[in-house]
Chain A
Amino acid sequence: MTQTRFRTWLSEGILEIILILFCVALSFMAPGFLTAENLLNVLRNVSMQGVIAFGMTMVIIAGEIDLSVGSAVAFAGCLTAFLTQALVGAGVGLPLAIALAILMTLGVGFLIGAFTGFMRTRYQVPSFITTLALLTGLSGAAELITNGFPLTPFPSWYNFLGGGYLLAVPFPALIFLLTFGALQFLMNYTAFGRSVYAVGGNAEAARLSGINVKRVKTLVLGTTSFLAAISGIMVSSEIMSGTATTAKGWELDVIAAVIIGGTSLMGGVGRIWGTMIGVVFLGVIMNGMTLLNVSEYWQHVVRGALILVAVLLNLLQKGKEQR
């Protein structure tokens, strides 16, 4: 009895266990790993993508996908810089200009995702297609509003959002943890979260249960590109400019973290906590290998392997449950 319970616990927490073992090994092999400074550094490094990964988890659970988040990050950074510049040019004071620019960028961020949702629910355009178009389109738009050069309207205190510390914790890491808490709560303890699972598990059954499927999909996609905008603002603060070429290829890293965390691309199945593990796992691997002086090329190979192994473990575990 206790043995079977131990086994269930082992197979359900297999990824967590591997992660812990990995960290233990690293702390012996790489002397700099187990220091508060390094761990906080890892946390900050994963924050920018991690914030989006939680939203992406909802999107994928709802049976959709968002390929545009990388470009959305770059676009949001550039838009913030562009609006700040324009507002200052129009005579608005710098602090107020930045505040307004951030709010407008967040609003636009939400609308971009809502647009994907609208195309999906109104015209049945798969989110894969719309966001693929946005991936290119937003990247181009970012180049357009910056004329291809980094915009640098930001004062030095703006660096706090991406590079600052609050109570000794990096500010982006706080946003990351806050987002985790909010979405963890949303997905597990609210009627809305439940609808997301239902819509992704069986959209027709959800609709026939009187759930507004269109609204759920639109809100979920909107939230994710809203989170991409938050990430973009933090990135622009970190590098102190609106640069169109940042965050290239992030969409794949984000989706990888979600999948490693056990979320099914078929929809209906997944956990926010799993994504947390996925995000941290990828961060720790990168950090550990850098500390161990492993070449960057190897890092990519290892990440690729991790994605495959994680999904495989997940499927094997499910197969066992069914028997």
Chain B
Amino acid sequence: MDAPVHRLETVSLRKEYPGTLALNDVSLSFESGNVHALIGKNGAGKSTIVKILAGAVQPTRGTMMLDGEQVQLRSPADALQRGIIAVHQELSLVPELSVAENILLGRLPMRQGWGQFIIDWKAVFEEAGEVLRSLDIELDLRARASTLGVAQQQVVEIAKAMSYHPSVLILDEPTSALAQHETERLFDLVRKLAGQGVILLYITHRLQELQRIADTVTVLRNGSLVGTIDIADATPSTIVQMMFGQDLQKARPAELVAREESFLEVRNLSKRCAFQDVSFAVKRGEILGIAGLLGSGRTELLRAIFGADPPDEGELVLEGVSVRPTSPEQMKRLGVALTPENRKEQGLVLLLSTRVNLCLASLDRIATHGFLTRLRERVIVDRNIRELDIAVANVDAPITYLSGGSQQKVVVGKWLNTQPRLMLLDEPTRGIDLQAKQQMFQLIWEMSKRGISSIVVSSELEELLDLCHRILIMRQGQIVGEVRPQELSLDTLFAVCMGEQEAER
């Protein structure tokens, strides 16, 4: 069965956001029959491309061509009409509806002659069954989506997308929540789709998948196209080279050394389904990185140390005193601070002003006998704004209006006001621009000089190499290695995280 070959092209696609160039004149070409992987580190422009192709955002400049014909997508509905569908990482099934209803959501067949008010259940199950059969998927059509595992839900998502008979299917990190054997089955499905004449784009950050699923690999970096190569020519080291390039590694200030005495010892910390038997120590003023992929237990570990989700077993030793973390309130009193992974949902109260947010963690310090005065707040807030260089027009306006970088600085400033001795930073540079990132580094180094220790979790490895004295590698809830930046190159570290080889202890 030879399906006709389709071709999707982008011509000098460019997307500018205020202050950043997300996509810099990228021209790509994908034909049906093959699986095209699109890779790059965070901020490389992958998600911008996906959003443009799916009609969610409009490019600043440049065009898209489908089979030689120019297409303009003003909305996701437009994209759908042209047969371009993206399946996102976050699943969007309605949990209380059946598999069949989910597949045909919004397009349930109606009984003719009843004024189109009555659902034709027979047709629903026939049509949905037909979709599953064409993909060789075996699933109970009547099962509620909430009873399915993540992998099966993923499959239903794809079946739903395929029921639109798309010409382009974009899979955005489909395996990030899947176990090994589930991934295998997904790959079979993807292969089958490729054989049906669909143009398949596959976005991933798991390099080890590429060899098994992709036919071509397209690499983006900092919004620009680095190149496209056939998988046959792609060795792990070429790919890593392409992804990370010759990015200059800005060294830490040389005088930055950790003190001898340790500030925190983590002893045999465990939490069910998150991490097991984790032990390590942090010296005073030391910047310790934790590298690991999403789901490796790194965020859970930070939250456990902070008492946000108390650990099941194990203890902390803070300056020689044994502590079991039970609440953020308690750990704050002991001089521990956490800037959470998701600043909008966990770090800030978006309804409230910059001033209030900056003072939120240190209310008991700022207030005398429980009473707050605007004047005392003002002094502290002004100092924060000056020292952290926060761009804010009106400190009394809701903080929603600030840029991502400024918001992140507010989260850090909020904790600096508590005069912490250990900062736990979860993805401190996510979604902020280059300059703010550099300032964030500077800030962490300055804290180190003042004897404040930091534990930094980040998905961006080269970032940790720049920033930290020492990096722990975490995989599947365990610490599997420890490296010092000066002794290690980027590709080895990456390989360690991917599980391709063990780091030396």
Binding site for B on A (CB under 8 A): 189-195, 197-198, 201-202, 204-212, 268-269
Kindly supply a per-residue 1/0 record for chain B positions 328-340, scoring 1 wherever the CB is within 8 Å of any chain A CB and 0 otherwise. 1101110000101
B484, chain A: closest CB distance, angstroms: 31
Pairs A–B under 8 Å by Cβ, sample size 28: A189-B373, A190-B367, A190-B370, A190-B371, A190-B372, A191-B366, A191-B371, A191-B372, A193-B372, A194-B359, A194-B372, A195-B363, A197-B349, A197-B352, A198-B349, A198-B360, A202-B348, A202-B351, A204-B345, A207-B308, A208-B308, A208-B347, A209-B414, A211-B329, A211-B360, A211-B363, A212-B327, A268-B352
Q: Which of A193, A210, A212, A269 contacts B361 (CB 8 A)?
A: A210
Within 8 A of A (CB), among B311-369: 327-329, 331-333, 338, 340, 345-352, 356, 359-361, 363-364, 366-367
Residues of B within 8 A of A (CB-CB), count: 32
CB <8 Å contact, A189 and B346 = no
Given contacts A192-B370, A201-B350, 7 further A-B contacts (CB under 8 A): A189-B373, A194-B356, A202-B350, A205-B345, A209-B328, A210-B332, A211-B329
The residue of chain B having its C-beta at the shortest distance from the C-beta of A202 within the complex is B349
Given contacts A191-B367, A195-B363, A207-B308, contact A212 B349 (CB under 8 A): no
The residue of chain A having its C-beta at the shortest distance from the C-beta of B328 within the complex is A210
B492, chain A: closest CB distance, angstroms: 35
> Which residues on A sit within 8 Å (CB–CB) of B373?
189
CB <8 Å contact, B350 and A210 = no
Q: Which of A192, A193, A204, A206 contacts B360 (CB 8 A)?
A: A206
The residue of chain B having its C-beta at the shortest distance from the C-beta of A185 within the complex is B371
A192 to B366 alpha-carbon distance, docked (Å)? 12
A294, chain B: closest CB distance, angstroms: 39
> Which residues on A sit within 8 Å (CB–CB) of B327?
212
Given contacts A204-B345, A205-B348, A208-B347, contact A194 B371 (CB under 8 A): no
> Which residues on A sit within 8 Å (CB–CB) of B338?
208
CB <8 Å contact, B360 and A209 = yes
Q: Which of A189, A198, A269 has the most CB of B within 10 A?
A: A198
CB <8 Å contact, B370 and A194 = no
CB <8 Å contact, B329 and A212 = yes
A208 to B340 alpha-carbon distance, docked (Å)? 8
A202, chain B: closest CB distance, angstroms: 4
A194 to B355 alpha-carbon distance, docked (Å)? 11
Within 8 A of A (CB), among B358-396: 359-361, 363-364, 366-367, 370-373
> Which residues on A sit within 8 Å (CB–CB) of B372?
189-191, 193-194
A74 to B58 alpha-carbon distance, docked (Å)? 61
A215, chain B: closest CB distance, angstroms: 9
